[in-house]
Chains A and B, each alone.
Chain A
Amino acid sequence: MQKITREILIDKAAFLLSTGVVGSVFGWRAGEFDYDVTPALFTDKTDLKNNFVFGDFCGANVSKYLIKATKNAEEKILVFLKPCDTYSFNQLLTEHRFNREKVYVVGIPCEGMADVRKIKEKAGEGILKISSTEDGVIVDTLYNGTISLKKEDILLERCKNCKSKKHVAYDELIGEDGTVLENDRFDEVAALEAMSPEERFNFWQNELSRCIRCNACRDVCPACTCEKCVFDNPESGVENKAAYNSFEEKMFHIIRAFHVAGRCTDCGECSRVCPQHIPLHLLNRKFIKDINQFYGEYQAGEEVGSRAPLVNYTKEDIEPNDAVNKGDK
């Protein structure tokens, strides 16, 4: 399979820019280190050549940026989307969040992105350089010399259980398209379900009590595109800025998960960005698992315009009291 390099993408972008197909390019900008790339909009070819990067650390799901970017853009925007990003892309289109005509999507294959936290866990602090290899990375460190790490050990949590290598939206594809994958993404949820209520309560109490209500999970989430979040709106009756106690943390995360239920594509950004390392995706996945089980398999973003399970029904749906008791049987 063709390895996607920054050069290939830069060439593609430069070509589309110069032919006037697009007016700007959404990609990733190089940072101070090898791992701190930032999503960025490029309009200038020199800037593109010097600062555009693509590699193991381009995990950020950039589809949400298109809402803002398309608002001001006169010309089309080129965006490079990984397979999982395309699901969010479609979901945003389903919700009329931007004009498809203003975007030129180049689908790029993805072999899984690296999590710098995991690298730091294994290589320790003081990382000087990270270089990619065929099946992993080599890390030069201040204190522990040079360490080589296997890709599967440093994958982002969400990439470990990649749901699909298939692009569900694109104008052009680089490389071959993949397929929807069999995966074990619900195993963690199932493990929690298998616990006693006390254990589950303690687990979540411990996880959620770390929340500092920085709102990173919400602000990065491609499903959270409200003009004003109910938790920011004093009129909503549930506004809370800083969680005063564990109730408010729960309230925030339950309601947030509920609001994105059926719309969440399971992109995993919430867990990736959480500065307190709370496994927030386990909340969203619970809803996805339940939805699949109760109402039939549904993948948000698979199709533009599909009807989300929570704005749909059948006359034979499961009764809530049975839904919670399903574990007892």
Chain B
Amino acid sequence: MQRIGVFVCWCGSNIAATVDVEAVSQALAKEPGVVHSANYQYMCSQAGQDLIRAAIKEHKLTGIVVCSCSPRMHEMTFRKTAESAGINPYMVEIANIREQCSWIHKDILTGTEKAIVLGRTAIAKVNLNAPLTAGESPVTKRALVIGGGIAGIQTALDIADAGFEVDIVEKNPTIGGKMAQLDKTFPTLDCAACILTPKMVDVAQHEKIRIFSYSEVAAVKGFVGNFDVTIKKKARYVREDVCTGCGLCTEKCPVKKVPNEFNLGMDTRRAIYIPFAQAVPKVATIDADYCNMLKNGKCGVCSKVCTAKAIDYEQKDTLIEEKYGAIVVATGFNPISMEKFDEYAYSQSKDVVTSLEFERIMNAAGPTQGKLVRPSDGKHPHTLVFVQCVGSRCANCAEKGKEYCSKICCMYTAKHAMLTRDKYPDTDVYVFYIDVRTPGKNFDEFYRRAAEEYGVHYVKGMVGKVMPEGDKLMVRASDLIANKQINIAADMVILAAAIEPDKSARSIATMLTASMDTNDFFTEAHPKLRPVESPTAGIFLSGACQGPKDIPETVAQAGAAAAKVIGLLAKDKLKGNPCVASSNELMCNGCSSCERVCPYGAISYVDKEFRGPNRTVLVRRVAQVNPAVCQGCGACTVACPSGAMDLKGFATKQIMAEVDAICK
């Protein structure tokens, strides 16, 4: 039998206001196994923890029940407290009498009664707790960064600078991501390429960093500290180690009409190409969908002109197996498709563009060499209408867009409007908005400059319809402040498309067993306190894959994720989660049910000798759990009909005791 100490927290008035903490601690003192029961204002405070430590010593406690806030909040805290006083951290259970009790019940009688039941339940469990020790596993001192945008680049650089090896897997032929496509950046208007490309070069030259460009993560096995990752290096038909990036092939290639994705299809490239001048690695890639040689074996021009002999039409996708200790997801974002927003005539008129397309138009390296012209006729536009929140904040149109705010649109639209007015003072620029959101350093000042100094017409209201009429785009909108309908004959309409996580993220999340929210953004382990970690141990989040964010925020998060990775890789050994499944070999009959439901492949079988009746030896096939691989879900425990499989920390007996205590 345990010697249990019960500690009821007031949480200031958070608990004490609707739960009679004194009554709870008195009632729980009578429960079996309880030898000490106390209450205190803030159990999680230093003083509160000291109180627990003292009681452990004084009453020779073997188990602790803390009636306080959610275990998701302070379970760790109290486990550490217990450990520091010499008892096993897993002898601590939390009764959640704040979130599940005091905060939701107004009546003190009800609250107190329920708190007692919750406490009793935790006591019943602790009575059956056993000390658990975490297993140890070694750490592979290398990190994988999935995605080579600014988030991935920054994370990789920070980790590598700390002395650890980092591999970046980028699905495109070059790293750089969305930022490489941008022209200027708000609110300082420095040129994106000027600040990004040096970082790309740093990455390329860093001795600790390897770039797997034009590659994808194909499979992930293992667990924190010990991931086995299969990387698929797609065939680019150019030998990376040999190609000098001279670009001769891209000039001679006869296939000229390939839509250039870097410019969002607004111009063309060749079948062999280097995405942009500062690409890293600066290596050509053959687009197999267009290359004549690969399609029908007729051409071979690039091979002929390549003096470095880098062209290899026989190249195949290769699989590379690597071990990593930590994985950072930096899969980024994309603007949503405008297909469903027909009211803006995106598909009907070339002059209706998305903001990212506009960004390319404004970019000196873009399809128009930075000249603002209409995509349809190359004429200079005079009236430009910017539409905000296209697909963002769609509370009532979730089937078309997103419910969330895409966060960056207000600022880049201000930037676009400002730059347009700056370069082409002859233009009329309208911005239609629901709200203008500028909560960042120097953001509001930036927006006001656009509106006030640059004379951008900000109109609160939404655009109802855009109709192409002749070479004009008739924009019908409402002005909510003036409370009237307005019609504008525009030359160009720029849509601030909502952003969404990259489509590849979903399958990556599945491979990583990392959870996602309903919008496919990766969930963080804690929205406030652990914003750069995934709930899955060893998986970290960097950049827009976790939620919409601008460059400064992305870089900050990238650095934070790197710091977390460094913290992990700096350890030689990792302590595992001791709440893992284990099989009672005496009960196991080796039927394989558990193995089939294990999502981690943590269960294997061995033939083992057992003592049979009359001094005989029987060999039986029995299940064994690899505690380092097991994540403790418990699926196997229910699949096992013999009850041979149990889960430490959530044992069948413990849960049954909890059921009993609740129903008592």
Total residues of chain A contacting the partner, CB 8 A: 22
Q: Which of B591, B596, B642, B644 contacts A96 (CB 8 A)?
A: B591
Closest to A223 in B: B641
Among residues 192 to 206 in chain A, which have CB atoms less than 8 Å away from a CB atom of chain B?
none
Among residues 282 to 319 in chain A, which have CB atoms less than 8 Å away from a CB atom of chain B?
307-308, 310-312
The CA of A225 and the CA of B589, in the complex, are separated in Å by: 8
Residue A259 interfacial (CB < 8 Å):
yes
Q: Which of B589, B592, B652, B656 contacts A227 (CB 8 A)?
A: B589
**Residues of B with C-beta under 8 A to A311:** 593, 596-597, 639
Closest to A67 in B: B589
Do A235 and B618 contact each other (CB < 8 Å), given the known contacts A230-B642, A311-B596? no
Interface 1/0s, chain A 207-238, versus B by CB < 8 A?
00000000000000000011111100101110
The CA of A236 and the CA of B588, in the complex, are separated in Å by: 13
CB distance from A95 to the nearest CB of B (A): 4
The CA of A71 and the CA of B641, in the complex, are separated in Å by: 22
**Residues of A with C-beta under 8 A to B652:** 236-237
CB distance from A85 to the nearest CB of B (A): 19
Residue B643 interfacial (CB < 8 Å):
yes
The CA of A260 and the CA of B653, in the complex, are separated in Å by: 22
Interface 1/0s, chain A 38-69, versus B by CB < 8 A?
00000000000000000000000000000000
Residue B481 interfacial (CB < 8 Å):
no
A227 near B591 with CB under 8 A, answer no
B596 near A307 with CB under 8 A, answer yes
Residue A97 interfacial (CB < 8 Å):
yes
Residue B621 interfacial (CB < 8 Å):
yes
Interface 1/0s, chain B 594-637, versus A by CB < 8 A?
00110000000100000000000010110000000000000000
Q: How many pairs, one residue from A and one from B, have CB atoms within 8 Å of each other in the complex?
A: 56
The CA of A95 and the CA of B605, in the complex, are separated in Å by: 12
CB distance from A232 to the nearest CB of B (A): 10
B639 near A96 with CB under 8 A, answer no
Interface 1/0s, chain B 152-189, versus A by CB < 8 A?
00000000000000000000000000000000000000
**Residues of A with C-beta under 8 A to B592:** 94-96
**Residues of B with C-beta under 8 A to A307:** 596
Do A227 and B644 contact each other (CB < 8 Å), given the known contacts A97-B591, A236-B652? yes
**Residues of B with C-beta under 8 A to A259:** 641
CB distance from B636 to the nearest CB of A (A): 10
Residue B277 interfacial (CB < 8 Å):
no
A226 near B641 with CB under 8 A, answer yes
B596 near A71 with CB under 8 A, answer no
Interface 1/0s, chain A 66-107, versus B by CB < 8 A?
000001000000000000000000000011110000000000
Residue B590 interfacial (CB < 8 Å):
yes
Among residues 160 to 213 in chain A, which have CB atoms less than 8 Å away from a CB atom of chain B?
none
B642 near A237 with CB under 8 A, answer no
Total residues of chain B contacting the partner, CB 8 A: 22
CB distance from B574 to the nearest CB of A (A): 30
The CA of A229 and the CA of B641, in the complex, are separated in Å by: 8
CB distance from A93 to the nearest CB of B (A): 11
B596 near A226 with CB under 8 A, answer no
B643 near A230 with CB under 8 A, answer yes
Do A227 and B587 contact each other (CB < 8 Å), given the known contacts A259-B641, A310-B639, A311-B596? yes
B642 near A228 with CB under 8 A, answer yes
Residue B663 interfacial (CB < 8 Å):
no
B593 near A226 with CB under 8 A, answer no
**Residues of A with C-beta under 8 A to B529:** none
Closest to B591 in A: A95
Closest to A258 in B: B641
B642 near A235 with CB under 8 A, answer no
Q: Which of A96, A226, A260, A310 contacts B587 (CB 8 A)?
A: A226
Closest to A313 in B: B597
A97 near B653 with CB under 8 A, answer no
Closest to B616 in A: A72
**Residues of A with C-beta under 8 A to B591:** 95-97, 225
Q: Which of B589, B593, B639 contacts A97 (CB 8 A)?
A: B589
**Residues of B with C-beta under 8 A to A235:** 643, 653
Closest to B595 in A: A311
Do A228 and B587 contact each other (CB < 8 Å), given the known contacts A236-B643, A237-B653, A237-B656? yes
B642 near A226 with CB under 8 A, answer yes
Greatest chain A CB density within 10 A among B592, B642, B652 is at B642
CB distance from A169 to the nearest CB of B (A): 18
**Residues of B with C-beta under 8 A to A312:** 596
The CA of A307 and the CA of B591, in the complex, are separated in Å by: 12
Closest to B596 in A: A311
Do A96 and B590 contact each other (CB < 8 Å), given the known contacts A237-B652, A237-B653, A307-B596? yes
The CA of A307 and the CA of B644, in the complex, are separated in Å by: 20
Closest to A91 in B: B591
The CA of A307 and the CA of B592, in the complex, are separated in Å by: 10
Can you offer 24 A-B residue contacts whose CB atoms are under 8 A? A94-B592, A95-B591, A95-B593, A96-B591, A96-B605, A225-B591, A226-B642, A227-B587, A227-B588, A227-B620, A227-B642, A228-B586, A229-B642, A230-B643, A233-B643, A235-B653, A236-B643, A237-B652, A259-B641, A260-B641, A307-B596, A308-B593, A311-B597, A312-B596
Q: Which 8 A-B pairs have the closest CB atoms?
A: A259-B641, A226-B642, A311-B596, A95-B591, A237-B656, A230-B643, A236-B643, A227-B589
Beyond the given pairs A96-B605, A236-B643, A311-B596, 16 more chain A to chain B contacts, judged by CB atoms under 8 angstroms and listed by A's residue number, are A95-B592, A95-B593, A96-B591, A97-B589, A225-B589, A226-B589, A226-B641, A227-B586, A227-B587, A227-B644, A230-B643, A233-B587, A237-B652, A237-B653, A311-B639, A312-B596
B interface list, Cβ under 8 A from A: 586-593, 596-597, 605, 618, 620-621, 639, 641-644, 652-653, 656
